[in-house]
Amino acid sequence: MNRIDVLDNGYVRLEQITGNDLSTVNSARVSFDKKSLEFTEKDKRLIRFLANHGHTSPFRHIFVTFECYAPLMIARQWWKYIVGSDHRDPFTAWNESSRRYITEEPEFYLPSDGEWRKAPENSKQGSGECLSEAHGFVWTHALATLQGECIDLYEAALAEGVCAEQARLFLPAYGLYVRWYWSASLQGVAHMLNQRLAHDSQKEFQMYARAVYGLLIEHFPESLKVLVNDIKEGDYSDRKQKQSN
């Protein structure tokens, strides 16, 4: 199993993995110039000791890479777990207002009639000269109409009692699927799982977190047992029904 499908079109796929539970104990034992060749009950006890006493650096020698495909609203939440961003690092942080909790008035960027540009002639990216204002007027009007319709639907959904974290799907882009690679140490993955498997996390993100857990548990059964809180077989077994190789 290297992929678990999530939602209607999303998925998480295990792209690459380095290390296992034995790698963790060996990175810990190098302090004493020792190394295990087979994983034993003694190694299980060492993993529990490391996790229970906050000696987490050995878990950072294991690295995994996932390919993820999810709606933008999930991708934006996942962004805070990017590789190289240590949640304990006081010099890096990312927080933003969340439409899971608030319903501030939506605003969108709307290019003026003279700001629409042509595709470049000799490049696959970027842009070229501006379109005529007559052509630009058509697209400005069309985009403004679409944005207005989406705001009306968003506000109607809220008025009918739809939760804010789902009502925002009516706003352009929040429901758009995006694809990305996410790489992290095992400790970094566990940090994400502990936050996003929590009952108060957005339900859709919980489903992606269960998929990540389900892909890794066979590779790190002892480490995840002690690093991740309150996870049970039933929390991710339902995703196995949609797995593909």
In the set 3, 99, 168, 196, the catalytic residue is 196
Distances in Å between the Cα of 106 and the Cα atoms of 69, 111, 148, 151, 194 are: 25, 16, 10, 7, 31
Q: Is 228 left (phi over 0), alpha (psi -120 to 50) or beta?
A: beta
Each residue of 98-120: pLDDT tens digit? Answer: 777 777 788 788 989 999 989 88
Confidence check: pLDDT of 168 > 70: yes
pLDDT at site 93: 55
Each residue of 29-64: pLDDT tens digit? Answer: 888 788 888 998 998 999 999 988 988 888 988 999
**Could you give the domains of the chain?**
3-99+176-244 (3.30.1360.170), 113-170 (no CATH)
Amino acid at 125: Q
Task: Give a three-class secondary structure readout of 65-119.
Answer: EEEEEEEHHHHHHHHHHCCCCCCCCCCCCCCCCCCCCCCCCCCCCCCCHHHCECC
- 196: annotated active-site residue: yes
- Neighbour tally for 14: CB within 10 Å: 19
Distance between CA atoms of residues 218 and 160, nearest Å? 44
Considering the entire predicted model, what is its pTM? 0.80
